[in-house]
Amino acid sequence: MRIGLIQSRGIGDIVIALPIARYFVDRGHEVLWPIHEDFIPSFRAAAPYVEFIPIKKDGVHSMYEVPLECLQSRDCRRIVPLYSRLDHRPDIINDKFARSFRFDEYKYAVAGVPFREKWNLRIARDREREERLFQEAGTGQDFVVCHLQASSVRAQLDVAAIAAGRDIVEITARTDSIFDWISVIERASLRIMIDSCFSNLTEQLQIPGPKIFIRHAEMAFTPVMLGEWTFAG
């Protein structure tokens, strides 16, 4: 069966939902997924099992109406909107699920995929790009990695005090793919992350070691975290 997923933006949301696509593919389905064109290069490389379709950022309609038309034109037999809230289209939301679940649980519930699959994130890693970024970061043997900038808020946290003399690497827009940062995150002795695509990636890849999670959204829009996190903010 050809299945279409609708979650065109929010890199963190797409990372959260990637195992849904893999679950369907592993069961013999073809998955099509329209996402904003800026995200296409990194996600096509990391998740080649999905047919990502580029769409332009064009206001609210690029969130649902444009992806829907795109998927319908490609004869998808099942189309799953993954949004738990969409202000201009409340009619597509499963109200019962939205009231009962956090936003990441919601995505799996409406897709009919077991929530435990969220931690079965499988991606194709580009080790050369990862190593190049690690070398550019110029860290010592013992360092802290932090990501403090979410889409609309920056965390106010004294990272230097927490690092206690260790080198600090802050994740910034140094590369056009979030996946290039995986080796840096893996090799750090501590990870300090605001609720974002990087905390999702770290959590879903089950990267071991101490981590600090900086929460900034209301609980319904804070993902379920099962790793070795302590919480700030």
Using a 10 angstrom Cβ sphere, with 0-12 exposed, 13-18 middle and 19 or more buried, the burial of residue 40 is middle
Structural domain harbouring 156 = 127-232
Q: b/e string for 5-28 if b means 16 or more Cβ within 10 A? A: bbbbbbbbbbbbbbbbbbbbbeee
43-53 confidence digits (pLDDT tens): 999 999 999 99
Boundary of a domain, candidates 90, 119, 148: 119
In whole angstroms, give the CA distance from residue 35 to residue 206.
25
Q: Tell me which DSSP letter residue 39 carries.
A: G
State whether 54 and 89 are in the same domain. Answer: yes
C-beta of residue 8 within 8 angstroms of C-beta of residue 54: no
**Average of per-residue pLDDT across 148-164:** 89
Boundary of a domain, candidates 119, 137, 160: 119
Q: Tell me which DSSP letter residue 64 carries.
A: T
Going by C-alpha positions, the residue among 177, 97, 64 that lies closest to residue 130 is 177
176-191 confidence digits (pLDDT tens): 999 999 999 999 999 9
State whether 173 and 106 are in the same domain. Answer: no
State whether 11 and 110 are in the same domain. Answer: yes
Here the tokens at position 189 are 């002795």
Boundary of a domain, candidates 119, 148, 166: 119
Q: Provide the pLDDT for residue 141.
A: 83
Residue tagged 């332009």 (tokens): 56
101-138 confidence digits (pLDDT tens): 999 999 999 999 999 999 999 999 999 999 999 999 87
Phi, psi of 54 (to 5 degrees): -75, 135
Kind plus residue range of the DSSP H or E element containing 163:
helix 159-163
